[in-house]
Amino acid sequence: VKLGPDLNLDQKPYEWLLRGQFEWLWAKAHDLQAGAEWHQTRLMLKGRFARLPAELGSGFDYGTLPVVEVDALGGKAVTSAWIQDRWKLLPDFSVSAGGRYDSLDITGEFNLSPRVSAEFVFDERTTWRAYWGDYFQTPDPMETVPGWLNPRLRSHLATAWGCLVEKTPLPGHILKAEYY
């Protein structure tokens, strides 16, 4: 990004992901799914730019901003594992329950996230689903760059829930109405 004649900001993100997952139909009404992954993100940041202050106020003069230079590498790795069992309670109704473990290397944080869902198939073209679960959101890669890193940097926990109806009016077309 060119910010002026001698001002710029260059980002070079790198990402590695190793993932494995398996599914086991261990009983007629049970479908067990489990997996693990390791996800590393690196961000090379190089730049020379005028850094905006936290508060601008009125009559602000952009020409007096101090010039900041950065040439650093930030990164994080997240290790995760999950397991979920899907029970087919009735021919058209199933319930899933499971959990996920996530661990973040740069802060030493870990989280156990429960998740549940239900599904009812009205007919071959109409399905109702409901879900609830916690999700572990790690810091943005830009936040891991030394000099930009907040010493109190932490992940966030988000809770997601919702329900939806999915209809297939024609082959290859899906109509969804979702509240979340």
Q: What is the pLDDT of residue 78?
A: 95
For the chain, the average pLDDT equals: 88
More confident residue, 70 or 117: 117
Please tell me the distance from the alpha carbon of residue 13 to that of residue 42, in angstroms, as a whole number.
Answer: 6
Residue found by looking up tokens 């086991």 in the block = 24
133 residue type, one letter: G
Q: Which two tokens stand for residue 42?
A: 């690196």
Q: Is the per-residue pLDDT at 135 higher than 80?
A: yes
* CB-based burial label for 88 (10 Å; 0-12, 13-18, 19+): middle
What mean pLDDT do residues 135-153 have?
A: 81
Tell me the pLDDT band of 166, cut-offs 50, 70 and 90. Answer: very high
Q: Is the per-residue pLDDT at 127 higher than 70?
A: yes
Tell me the pLDDT band of 176, cut-offs 50, 70 and 90. Answer: very high
Q: Which two tokens stand for residue 128?
A: 């109702």
DSSP state for residue 4 in the 8-state scheme: S
Instruction: Give Cα separations from 71 to 39, 47, 75 (angstroms).
Output: 24, 7, 14
Q: What is the pLDDT of residue 168?
A: 92
More confident residue, 129 or 146: 129
pLDDT digits (tens, 9 = 90+) for 13-60: 899 999 999 999 888 888 999 999 999 999 898 888 776 665 666 666
Expressed in angstroms, the distance from the first to the final Cα of the chain is: 36
Whether the CB-CB separation of 158 and 113 falls below 8 Å is answered with: no
Please tell me the distance from the alpha carbon of residue 116 to that of residue 157, in angstroms, as a whole number.
Answer: 16
What mean pLDDT do residues 138-157 have?
A: 81
Q: Which two tokens stand for residue 151?
A: 């010493």
71's CB contacts (< 8 A; 6+ apart) are 45, 46, 47
